[in-house]
Amino acid sequence: MAVLIDATTAEHARGIRTVILGVLGELPHVTHERTIVAAGGSLPSVEGLPIRRVALAQSRPGRLLYQRLLLPFDASRLDKGGEGIDRVLLLDAYAPLFRVHLRYAALVHDVLPLTHPQFWPPAKRLVKRRAFSSLRRVEATLLTSTEYNAREIQRLLGVKPRVIRFGCGQLTDSEADAARNSRLPEREPYLVYVGAFEPRKDVLSLIEMFDLAVSRGADSALKLVGSGDLAYVAAVKARIAASPYRERIEVVTQAPRDVALRLLRHATALIFPTLAEGFGLPILEALALGTPVVASDLDSIRSWAGDAVFYARPFDPRDWLESIAAAAASGAVHRRSGQALAAGYRWRHCVVEMLTF
């Protein structure tokens, strides 16, 4: 028999795209069963992995049409063609409106549109609520990334998911292993943020904190790596322009993978001032590379990162400055402890667990 993997969301979501690329990169190495991937045009080919290019996935409405209505017909057609499709792995929480004869598993990254609705427009919240309801309708096996998310999903959806561990974000398993077995990289005098530019990530407060740190004598630069909502990106650039230390702040948009990882590898620390988070893959990437992390003190992050991360309370500049100073002063023991935690996160293990349903 064979499994159909819906990877079409990679066309439209940054964090989910990272997860999808990590999963597909390891998939040919961990299973001998037939797998077919439904994907859009921007997903790179993977040697040994059949990819069906879904033209509808180029637009969000088209992707939702495929996921909610057409996917079962696609699977049934492949089944009649001799592929023997019996299972569908959904790498996002959008299930078809009807079940047909297939078994489904779905990766639920988080339920933030339900727990933090202020960060999503009404239309997106409505779509997500219906998507979550569809998972119950098709009786999907639910997968998620942390025990914290599992509790929230069970509380809100009434279904207990199975926890799986991601790999180290953009790092392949071999790259993460090599970083742990190599000499720690030299740190350079800059702080780095990697992620989306949107209100939930609170990048504007990060610039405020940086200004305060430099005004008190910190000899550092700030590199903001990412892209996102156009209005918020404009607000970030306007705030940088108003900073008395604007020459020390750099925005790196659409950074290639190697550029983002190089900036993470040599930073004094990754600063992650998010206000709501499902996981936070850049945190895991930084830990795997031996880079200290200062993150918002949220249960969703503490639940998996534990003492490997320095924490600070949102909207408390003094707390952030103290934690940033502690991260900057941290030595090899702390950095290696972060790598030790990250060693438990590998895409190969993640894929094996995902396919067991």
87-138, pLDDT tens digit by residue? Answer: 999 999 999 988 778 899 999 999 999 999 999 999 989 989 999 999 988 9
Supply the pLDDT for residue 33.
Answer: 79
Of 1.20.120.80, 3.40.50.2000, 1.10.1060.10, 3.30.499.10, which CATH number belongs to 2-164?
A: 3.40.50.2000
Average pLDDT in the 203-215 region?
Answer: 96
Average pLDDT in the 46-67 region?
Answer: 92
User: For residues 7, 12, 16 and 20, what is the CA-based torsion angle, rounded to 10 degrees?
Assistant: 30
Q: Where are the domains of the chain?
A: 2-164, 173-342
Can you spell out the DSSP letters for 162-225?
EE-----TTS-HHHHHHHHTSPPPPP-SEEEEES-BSGGGTHHHHHHHHHHHHHTT---EEEEE
Supply the pLDDT for residue 83.
Answer: 66
Lowest mean pLDDT segment, chosen from 7-16, 27-36, 258-267: 27-36
Of the candidates 197, 208, 186, 246, the residue with the CA atom closest to the CA atom of residue 324: 208
Per CATH, is 173-342 categorized as 3.90.1150.10? no
Residue where the block lists tokens 């045009």? 41
pLDDT at 185 over 80: yes
pLDDT at 184 over 70: yes
Q: How far apart are CA 161 and CA 143, in angstroms?
A: 5
Q: What is the pTM of this model?
A: 0.95
Q: In a 10 Å sphere around its CB, with 0-12 CB exposed, 13-18 middle and 19+ buried, how is residue 149 labelled?
A: buried
Q: How far from each other are the two terminal CA atoms of the chain, in whole angstroms?
A: 13
Supply the pLDDT for residue 256.
Answer: 92
pLDDT at 162 over 90: yes
Q: What is the mean pLDDT of the chain?
A: 94
Taking only Cα atoms into account, the Rg of the chain, rounded to an integer number of angstroms, comes to 21
3-state secondary structure of 91: coil
pLDDT at 82 over 70: no
pLDDT at 265 over 90: yes
User: For residues 13, 17, 20 and 22, what is the CA-based torsion angle, rounded to 10 degrees?
Assistant: -150
296-318, pLDDT tens digit by residue? Answer: 999 999 999 999 999 999 999 99
Of the candidates 144, 151, 163, 153, the residue with the CA atom closest to the CA atom of residue 113: 153
Average pLDDT in the 206-219 region?
Answer: 95
Is it true that 2-164 and 173-342 share their CATH fold? Answer: yes
